Amino acid sequence: MIKSNWQIEQSCPQCGAPIILSETDHILDCPFCRTRLYLAPDKHFSYYLPPSTKIGLQGELFYIPYWRFKGSSFKTTPPTLTYRFLDTNIIALESSALRSSIGMRPQTLKLHFVAASTKGRFIKPRLTLEEVLPQFVRNKQKSLHNSFIGEAISLIYAPLILYDKKVYDGILGKPLLTVGADFIETLSSQTAAPKTGIKFIPTICPYCGWDMEGEKGSLAMICKNCNSVWTLQGQKFDRIKAATMIGPRMDENTVYLPFWRIKAKFDGIDLSSYADLIRIANLPKAITKDIENSPLHFWSPAFKVNPALYLRLCRQITVLRPYDYESATLPHKNLYQATLPIEEAKEGIFINLTQMIANKKRDYPKLKGLSIAIEEYRLEYHPFFSKGGEFINPDMGVGISRAALAFGNML
């Protein structure tokens, strides 16, 4: 499996052993004391790059905040839907004197979680994530809607050293600029004590007390003792609805890929049944009485993939509607990790609807101000069979390459 280049150094909270985490990990798995803990950040992960001990400067240590974004960006600009993958960072301050980006440093140096005990003065972010997101997208043309799917958002603090009225790079030791008393006073006035920012939650089933299972990057934890699925909401695990879809050729080598099935309520467009979707997407299907009364569900992969594949899977499975045979019992093995949260799958409904609309001149204006609310959802595990370099579900006519899944594990 391909891993992210970013690595985080962390001590095991139980035994103190050193552990190296990947940026995509949600579970700390200590190989020494066998402790498994779920990483629960406060809104987002906060990291810092420690200053180099080789530069020999003894000045005052400051940390400058940078927003980091990695994920897929979708832009609806009538009559087109465009997308691209982003991996970038930008300073969270209004300052032309400091570096606008930390560049590739997190890929070559190990990060650390910000903790209350971290030494140094942390500059508070002056720009919110919402204020810097437009800079990530850089729209030259006004868009109807911008969506971000599968994003990894974090704050990264880079070290600066203030010594003899000069600001030095805390890693290279090179002088960046000469400053006056006003700059020093402004910098000092914007500091705040670092918050712990992350909690470690035992991966114990809240219902039966059994050890839950899940790969390091998974957002969904499985309890095989009481056949339940749990996701973290805030600082605790909540149980969610889940089902296994049954295929005709399932065996011990079957791999089960997770998908979100969502029933949504739309305010601003007439879309409440599958028949309504057939009309708005101009699908080649006859509208019967049963279809007219059939509820409308949208499907989204519950795992991260590149934006083009995400769009294809959303459309294919939503049009197909795999309602056939299902089981409430979860498979005992080969459950692929769920890495895309339900909140982002909800955002994917807008994107899926955008690509499916046939008469864009008539219906695109209805998307402006469209409100989407989730009425119900569940996590479905669909059977796929390995064939060459692909995983295939012949009943749905869907194939996903191993390379695409490996790329998704890096996001």
DSSP structure string for 198-263: EEEEE-B-TTT-PBPB--TT-SEEEETTTTEEEEEETTEEEEE-EEEE--TT--TT-EEEEEEEEE
Number of residues that this document lists for the chain: 411
98 secondary structure, DSSP code: S
Mean pLDDT of the chain: 89
State residue 141's pLDDT score: 64
How far is residue 287's CA from residue 200's CA, in Å, rounded to a whole number?
51
Token pair recorded at residue 234: 């805030």
Residue 138 clears pLDDT 70, i.e. is over it: no
Q: What is the pLDDT of residues 283-298, one digit of tens each?
A: 999 999 999 999 999 9
State residue 1's pLDDT score: 38
* Contact indicator for 64, 177 with CB cutoff of 8 Å: no
Residue type, position 114, single letter: V
* Contact indicator for 296, 323 with CB cutoff of 8 Å: no
The b/e string for 174-208 (b: 16+ C-beta within 10 A; e otherwise) is eebeeeeeebeeebeebeeebeebbebeebbbbee
Give residue 57's pLDDT band: very low, low, confident or very high (50, 70, 90).
Answer: confident
- Average pLDDT in the 306-332 region? 92
How far is residue 281's CA from residue 271's CA, in Å, rounded to a whole number?
11
Find where tokens 């070559």 sit. 108
Give residue 152's pLDDT band: very low, low, confident or very high (50, 70, 90).
Answer: confident
Q: What is the pLDDT of residues 76-128, one digit of tens each?
A: 888 888 898 888 889 998 877 788 888 888 888 899 999 888 888 898 888 98
% residues pLDDT > 90 (the chain): 56
Tell me: cis bond preceding 79? Omega within 30 of 0 counts.
Answer: yes
How far is residue 246's CA from residue 224's CA, in Å, rounded to a whole number?
18
